[in-house]
Amino acid sequence: MNIKQAKILITGAKGQLGFDIRRILNNMGCNFIATDYKELDVTKEKLVFDFVKRGNFDLIINCAAYNDVDKAEEDRENCYKLNASAPFYLAKAAKEVEAIFVTYSTDFVFDGNKGMPYTEEDRPNPVSVYGKSKLKGEILVLNEYDKSIVIRTSWLFGINGKNFNTQVLDWAKKHKELRIVDDQISSPTYSYDLANFSLKLLKKNNFGLFHFSNNGIASKYDQAKYLLNKIGWAGTLYRAKTSDFNLKARRPNFSKLDSKKIESLVGAKIPSWQSGIDRWWEEYNAI
């Protein structure tokens, strides 16, 4: 599609990914409306339909999501509303006005037992309420509307919001010793890169399910170590195991996503997770 000529709606626009999509579209000179829950509660079907019909959009990009993995175990209803019902309502509304629809999912739809990067053809088996809610959203969207794009991603970090990087920096200010798990393995993903490749993919008019994470594989320990070395932290970093912490939700041990499909379609190499952190850190310092 011609993004520059499209009338675009972004939901969940104040989050990390929404922020980066907005700034790329701004730089392209695109016409878009950015909403968050105050402007449009995407869990309310009638509100969604009315808003989309009035706007008569060509493209809807849904960045709204429930991302608190542990809280979701007890807050199941709200988690499913945001991660399953909301994208379904938006897909139905997009279908009504014949707009292309894009939404995002997670590596947590997998159980982590494969031991190799997951492709789009691998069978999901989520082990948490969060993962199950995201999988339900995927299924509802892809079954509802054939001009939908669902992009799974992993360990997202961006300049506009809290994430594992900001957590590590906060912990490093308060403690001289840190224990970070080394048995959760995937790939940290810079939200700017995800936004950039999402928009590149839209130009190709290919729909369906895609994986996107920054290149390379890392544990949470590796991610923390890379960032702490970058800032010259003088403390001591220790390896830990997930079982050392009292977490409510199970996590997949190995959930790296294979992103070859999107790389091939777009015709560009995805940057490494280290490059993502480097660029994120430059921006973080510039604020």
Q: Of 130, 145, 192, 221, which residue is the catalytic one?
A: 130
Determine the Cα–Cα distance for residues 40 and 33; give it in Å rounded to an integer.
11
What Cα–Cα distance (Å) separates residue 238 from each residue in 146, 165, 235, 260? 48, 17, 10, 33
Active-site residue flag, 130: yes
Strand 208-211 with 59-62, pairing: unpaired
Max Cα separation, the chain? 57
Q: Which residues pair with 210 in a beta bridge?
A: 151
The whole-angstrom distance between residue 167's C-alpha and the CA centroid of its chain comes to: 17
Q: Give residues with Cβ within 8 angstroms of 154, minimum separation 6.
A: 106, 107, 186, 187, 188, 189, 213, 255, 256, 257
Catalytic residues: 130
